[in-house]
Every structure is written in C-alpha cells, then in structure tokens.
C-alpha cells in the first residue's frame, strides 16, 4: 500500500504516509496545561507517519473554547515536552498546530474580554460552545493595524516555544474559519488598511505569519492548513480559486514542510464558485508536499495517493477511534467507530480507552 510507504518530510523521515489530523479534544486544564492523559493519547497513536497536535493557543487572546491547550507559558512548554518526549521514544514524529480563533470565541471564556477579528462582523446562524453552555456569537472588536503585527510576532514566538517543547515542526491553522481564515475572505475582512481589500492585501496577514514562523525556526519545519471550499463559520469569498491560487503561489517562495488541504465537508450547492475537487484545483499549484484531508477511508486514501497530487493523507476521527490505524489498514482489520459524544472534554473515556488489535 502507498499509505504504508516511507516518505521524507523536509529532513524528517516518516514511517508511512498517514498523518493524524489535528483534532480539538478539550482535555487541558483551565490554564491550558495538558496532563498525563494527553501524553498517553499521543503516544498511543505514534505509529502515524506524522502526528499533528490539536490546535494549541498561541496566546491568551487566541483562546476560543475552554479546556484547550496553550503554548505561551513555561508550564505549557514543559507539559508538551512530556508529550513530545514520549512520542519520540516510540519512534513517532509530531508537529504542533498553532491556533488563534479570532471571532470563533466568546467573552465567557476570555475573562469578559471581547474576541478580536479583522473586522467587527459577528458569526450568524451558529452558536459557540462555552464553559457556560451554547451562546450566540458576539460582535468581535476590530484589530488595530499595530495589533495585527503583534499577532504575527505571537505566532513566531509560539513557533519557537513549540520547538523548545520538542515538536518537530509547526502547522499554522489557517482553515475552518479561525483568525487567519478570517483575514483571507471578504465575508469576514472589510478592513481599509493594508490587510484588507484586494486578494493581495487579504492574504498579507497569512503570508507575514508564515514568513515570521520560517524566520523563527528555519526551513522545512513550517506548514499550513487551508480549507478553500469550506464555508463554515460564515467564511464566504466571491472567488476562492483566485484567492487560494495566489496564496499557494506565494507559499512556493518559502521553504515550507507541507501544505495541508481540506476537502469540502459541507454542502456547497449554493456556492458554485467553490471548487469541488480541492486537490486537483490547488494541490497541483504547489511545489510543496500536499497532505490531503477530509473524509478519507483506507480505499479512498490509497486512491488519492495514486493520483500523484498528494504525498500523504491525514485521518481525524479514524485515528481518534483507532490508535493503531496503520496496522489496521495493513491487515485490513475492522475499525472501531468513534464515539461523537466523548470527543470534546472529559477524561479517558473516548480518549485513551479505544482498543488496539490483539
């Protein structure tokens, strides 16, 4: 199987072409510190060619939901060090996904402080999970230009912190409607400064962040996750093909490790401008390794690699429920089914208690 073939990511040898996709699990403490269960969770799944961590908040401002981990305090770094040490002892490789949620958050979990965003535009038609239950989204505060530049530096510092914590590299979460994604699209970004307006201006924040991250930790250690055809969290653009084609062209100028592309996960029938085949539309434009994500099985993942566009495939819920997923694919074993009710928050149930093959 191609999925089980070795591959080199930058200078990092990987045992197979299967990545564990980043998944919010909400198992950190109230201060964003992960514990022994998180060490066990990632260590159990170290047979993945590459583990990509759940989203890790780059600053206090970045926090969107309760019980999500951070990477901005010494306690955060030392806690993640235990995770990366254990993964490396098992022969695994692990990247940190760096996260700023922007307007996908609520003051209930931010000490009463309003979320920030490119523009003061609230998410409509959805509710946000908070420590006080589901709440309507608030209108965020528009970031000052100087604050945007500070967040760029926050990402650079978080990259340094992740390397200090033992991660092999970092992935910018620029997908699914979080802050970088908000800067990219017209529905969330109506700024009048150099970070708003044209495609070049709306792309500027993400490009500056990637440049700062590469500048902080070096080449072949920085990656990015994109969701060009996902409208979730009110992310709508009139010409996503032009937007993401420009963005990937700019990324070709940087020494990145990979680009992680998400397939459409929601109906886009009323959005005819959204490409259905993300890998063919955007993956072919990149000189970097492509990791394909979104709804793959053993069979469709193999088919994706056979097309020759993606070099790896990432699995989310399947890795959550099957810590030994590469072995199960190898022997074509039956798969455990993920328990949706235990995905977010709680203890070992639905986290570290999924059975391995005998």
- The torsion angles phi and psi of 135, rounded to 5 degrees, stand at -135, 150
CA distance 93 to 99: 20
Tell me the CB-side half-sphere exposure of residue 105, using CA atoms within 13 A.
Answer: 30
Whether 178 is catalytic is: yes
Q: Closest Cα to residue 145, out of 197, 194, 78? A: 194
Let me know if 6 is exposed, middle or buried by CB neighbors in 10 A (0-12, 13-18, 19+): exposed
CA distance 122 to 125: 10
Sign of CA pseudo-dihedral 181, 230, 34, 29: positive
SS3 of residue 20 by DSSP: strand
Q: Closest Cα to residue 19, out of 9, 30, 34? A: 9
CA distance 6 to 289: 14
Q: Closest Cα to residue 165, out of 86, 222, 99? A: 86
CA distance 19 to 50: 5
H-state helical runs in 26-72 = 36-44
Question: Of the listed 42, 137, 178, 246, which one is catalytic?
Answer: 178
Residue 141 DSSP symbol: E
Sign of CA pseudo-dihedral 223, 320, 342, 295: positive
Let me know if 237 is exposed, middle or buried by CB neighbors in 10 A (0-12, 13-18, 19+): buried
Which active-site residues does the annotation give?
178
């Amino acid at each position: 199987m191609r999925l089980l073939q070795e591959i080199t990511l930058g200078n990092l040898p990987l045992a197979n072409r299967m990545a564990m996709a980043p998944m919010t699990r909400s198992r950190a403490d109230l201060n964003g510190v992960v514990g022994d269960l998180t060490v066990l969770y990632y260590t159990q799944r170290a047979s993945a060619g590459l583990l990509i961590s759940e989203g890790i908040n780059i600053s206090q401002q970045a926090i969107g939901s309760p019980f999500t981990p951070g990477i901005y305090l010494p306690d955060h770094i030392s806690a993640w060090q235990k995770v990366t040490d254990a993964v490396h002892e098992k022969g695994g490789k692990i990247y940190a996904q760096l996260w700023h949620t922007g307007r996908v958050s609520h003051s209930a979990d931010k000490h009463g402080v309003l979320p920030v965003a490119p523009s003061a535009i609230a998410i409509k038609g959805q509710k946000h999970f908070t420590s006080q239950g589901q709440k309507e989204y608030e209108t965020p505060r528009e970031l000052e230009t100087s604050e945007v530049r500070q967040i760029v530096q926050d990402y650079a510092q978080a990259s340094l912190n992740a390397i200090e914590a033992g991660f092999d590299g970092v992935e910018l979460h620029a997908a699914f409607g979080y802050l970088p994604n908000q800067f990219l699209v017209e529905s969330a970004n109506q700024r009048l400064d150099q970070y708003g307006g044209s495609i070049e201006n709306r792309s500027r924040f993400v490009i500056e962040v990637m440049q700062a991250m590469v500048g902080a930790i070096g080449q072949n250690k920085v990656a990015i996750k994109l969701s060009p055809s996902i409208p979730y969290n009110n992310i709508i653009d009139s010409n996503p093909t032009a937007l993401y084609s420009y963005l990937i062209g700019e990324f070709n100028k940087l020494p990145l490790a990979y680009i992680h592309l998400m397939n459409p996960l929601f109906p886009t029938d009323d959005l005819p401008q959204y490409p259905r085949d993300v890998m063919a539309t955007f993956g072919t434009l990149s000189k970097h390794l492509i990791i394909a994500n979104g709804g793959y099985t053993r069979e469709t993942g193999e088919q994706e690699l056979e097309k020759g566009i993606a070099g790896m495939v990432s699995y989310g819920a399947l890795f959550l429920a099957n810590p030994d997923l590469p072995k199960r694919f190898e022997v074509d074993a039956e798969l455990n089914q993920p328990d949706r009710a235990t995905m977010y928050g709680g203890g070992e149930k639905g986290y570290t208690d999924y059975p391995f093959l005998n």
